[in-house]
Amino acid sequence: MDRHRILFVCAGNICRSPLAEGIFRHLAAEARRSSEFEIDSAGTGGWHQGERPDRRSIAAAADHGVDISGQRARRIEVADFDRFDLILAMDQDNLKNLRKIAPADALGKLYLFNAFTLGSNKDIPDPYYGGHEDFEAVYTKLLAGCIALLPMAGKALRAS
């Protein structure tokens, strides 16, 4: 069976995209579907390469039984556009940045996270300059999108 490869992308890969990766990985494991997916996250910028996720993202995830502490930030690479079937940007700015660097044949793999998962053009807000409540709100939004993504992921990715 082919694995479906999903990449979650935000700016620095320390707040939103590691949360999305961790949540989706957790949901796939709970559904006993982990073997169906290759899940990763990256940032459009390289400011935090090699760093752990933001401590507030780690805490928000841990509050819900999700461990993202082992993740390390990385910047998206050209090879990612070939490697992944679906690349989900957390906001319009990151989607725009992805479109600038993606090869033409990869543009059909790029989507706004909420547009693909929930049919909404709303950004997942960056909680970096906020507090615990902002990270909790982002966790809740990402959870809703990842719950919607899990049942459609296999079907949507086979069709593309």
Q: What is the Cα–Cα distance from 31 to 56, expressed in whole angstroms?
A: 26
**Which residue among 40, 54, 80, 126 is the active-site one?**
126
Strand partners, 37: 4
Alpha carbon distances (Å) from 11 to 8, 28, 71, 74, 81: 11, 25, 16, 10, 17
Q: In this model, does residue 87 exceed pLDDT 60?
A: yes
pLDDT at residue number 153: 77
126 is catalytic: yes
What are the pLDDT digits (tens) for 28-49? 999 999 999 999 999 999 999 9
C-alpha 39/C-alpha 25 separation (Å) is: 7
**Domain containing residue 92:** 4-159
Pairing of strands 86-89, 4-10: parallel
Identified catalytic residue from 16, 54, 56, 123? 16
**CATH code of the domain covering residue 55:** 3.40.50.2300
Catalytic residue among 10, 15, 91, 123: 10
Instruction: Domain count for the chain, please give it.
Output: 1
